[in-house]
Structure 1
Amino acid sequence: MALHIQEFFHKASFTLTYIVVDRVSKECAIIDPALDYDQLASSVDSAFAKQLINYINDNQLTLKYILETHAHADHISSAFYLKQQLGGQICIGSGIKGIQKTFKTVFNLAKDFNTQGVQFDQLLKDGDVLPIGNFEFSVMETPGHTPDSLTYIIEGNAFIGDTLFMPDSGSARCDFPGGDAALLYQSIQKIFALGDDTNLYMCHDYQPGGREIKFLTSVKEQKNQNIHLKGNVNEKDYVATREARDATLANPKLIFPSLQCNIQAGDLPSADAQGLHYFKYPISGVEHLR
């Protein structure tokens, strides 16, 4: 088949990255690439990204796009590094502008930090089309987990970000700024409307019970087996379940470094006068010490 999809699993963050290839034109796209980050050492590394680079070079491919399904809060994107090494356009949903505005305040970023998405090459919206070789991605907005969440669809394959996980893990949390459980339910229905045979590619698999990694399911399987949606759950009941679950969840352990990079296309925070890069961690609960 001319269209090929190759998966890569970043075990440290349970992230699935994909390279989508038109074998005829040799053009490809990378979806949701991760960067290695050791939190205790506060050090970054490109080992996982180099797997992607090696695959592209070994197969003599041309990287056309680096596609983000959303601004991730659980891993740092390697989009900026990959673009430096291979070229390609970094794309994300236009909702990133609102996320940038929110976290500019949260992290007290520099006054000149631009919140119009200029760090990305393309800001995408519902109905946009991205040609790749003899194929094309169609873009569908699927907000709820985050305001900028997108699904990329190509030849009956949908890359759905964190909207849904494998059926035994349910659906995405909606308690981040701009998240909305009702919107997520509506986005899931849009994905279901793609048709039962549509292949759904996961952005994460947390391997509940220690099972083997899984990255591919179908609309039909999600409808019938997803623990949050099976049995034709209505929006009201879904929202109640989702919000109750979200109230029990801790922040992702990498939320602060991840967002500081991912709202600017995977680039690290600017270096100081000595050439050193720092992440900011806001502290809550200070009022109890006063």
Structure 2
Amino acid sequence: MQKPTVRAFFDEDTATWSYVVWSATDPQKRCAIIDSVLNFDLPSCTSSTRSADIIIAFIKEKQLVVEWILETHIHADHLTAARYLQERLGGKIAISKHILAIIATWVPVFQTQEDTKLDGSQFDHLFANDEQFTVADMPATILHTPGHTPADTTYVIGNAVFVGDAIFLPDVGSGRCDFPGGSAEHSYDSSRRLFALPDEYRLYVSHDYPPEHTRGPQCMTTIGEQKQHNIRLHLGISKEEFIRQRQHDDTGKAVPQLLLPSIQVNLRNGQFGKEVEGTQFVKLPVNKF
């Protein structure tokens, strides 16, 4: 199995890992960007492209050609820079077809029908379950890994596995399951689907929240390490135990700070929406959360 080259970028404000993935054997130097970040300050309602520009500079330095801009899911804790990156580097923006269920859930909440396409056509490609594709000269596969949200997707590119929030590093555990359509039962089942991959496959997470005073942010583990040591999902944990603990820990959990702007912008693949006299807006539904 091919071993892709992976460069990770950490956004400290949102504890988000973004990735550039490419093949050392591809003469065209094609690459994919996974889970990018558009910086956003909520109190002032201002955005910046600081994190995305670091990725752009890296890609230009390496003379890579962007083939894909991939999203593992609709993030609730940071805004995507997908559209900004596409405007400057090209590439196709893609996400799972299950985005359609997320659109159906959230657009009525925000009343954004006028500037959020309901058929998912704001994305260049909607992946089907288990769809196979390529990144450069490497085989890639889609795994539907719901639980954190109904639309979470894992990208298996060569022997690298990009899981989004489906699972975290072994000493952190797993993503919350209390968002609309989330399911602790599905989260457990998704972990077992991931654990069916070869033990030596590298697993890359979208976030890291290190236990205090133990280590700095890290992005990679292996399937084998997860099976043995994940504090919530190791092979010794039953589904019933996981569901009970996950539901207990998610009860009363705070809403992510950037949830309201993130969902609206990410459903449009990084666009703020319709302008009114030169100004764009995000909506803040009152008493909804």
Q: Taking structure 2 as the reference length, what is the TM-score of the superposition? A: 0.95
Which residue is equivalent to 1:228? 232
| Superimposed CA distance per residue, residues 158-212 of structure 1 (whole angstroms, 9 cap, x where no aligned partner) | 0000011111111011111111111111011000000221211010011221421
Please state how far the C-alpha of 1:229 moved relative to its aligned partner. Answer: 1.9
Which residue is equivalent to 2:126? 123
Which sections of structure 2, spanning at least 5 residues, go unmatched?
A: none
- The DSSP-based 3-state class of the residue aligned with 2:246 is helix
Counterparts of 1:219-258 in structure 2, within 5 Å, are: 219-230=223-234, 232-258=236-262
Please state how far the C-alpha of 1:116 moved relative to its aligned partner. Answer: 1.3
Alpha-carbon distance between aligned partners in 1 of 2:115 and 2:203, rounded to the nearest angstrom? 39
| Superimposed CA distance per residue, residues 83-126 of structure 1 (whole angstroms, 9 cap, x where no aligned partner) | 11111000101111111111111101135642111110111122
Counterparts of 1:1-290 in structure 2, within 5 Å, are: 3-23=4-24, 24=26, 25-111=28-114, 113-210=116-213, 211-230=215-234, 232-272=236-276, 274-284=277-287
Alpha-carbon distance between aligned partners in 2 of 1:265 and 1:152, rounded to the nearest angstrom? 18
Please state how far the C-alpha of 1:235 moved relative to its aligned partner. Answer: 1.1
Alpha-carbon distance between aligned partners in 2 of 1:121 and 1:47, rounded to the nearest angstrom? 25
Pick which of 85-94 and 225-234 moved more. 225-234
Q: 1:19 and 1:112, CA in 2 relative to 1: closer, same or farther beyond 3 A?
A: closer
Alpha-carbon distance between aligned partners in 1 of 2:91 and 2:235, rounded to the nearest angstrom? 42
8 Å Cα contact 1:270/1:277 also seen in 2 = yes
Identity percentage over the alignment?
36
8 Å Cα contact 1:66/1:79 also seen in 2 = yes
8 Å Cα contact 2:117/2:268 also seen in 1 = no
Alpha-carbon distance between aligned partners in 2 of 1:125 and 1:50, rounded to the nearest angstrom? 31
Number of aligned residue pairs: 285
Which sections of structure 1, spanning at least 5 residues, go unmatched?
A: none
Q: 1:229 and 1:112, CA in 2 relative to 1: closer, same or farther beyond 3 A?
A: closer
8 Å Cα contact 1:67/1:91 also seen in 2 = yes
Q: Over the residues paired in the alignment, what is the CA RMSD in angstroms?
A: 1.6
Alpha-carbon distance between aligned partners in 1 of 2:113 and 2:135, rounded to the nearest angstrom? 37
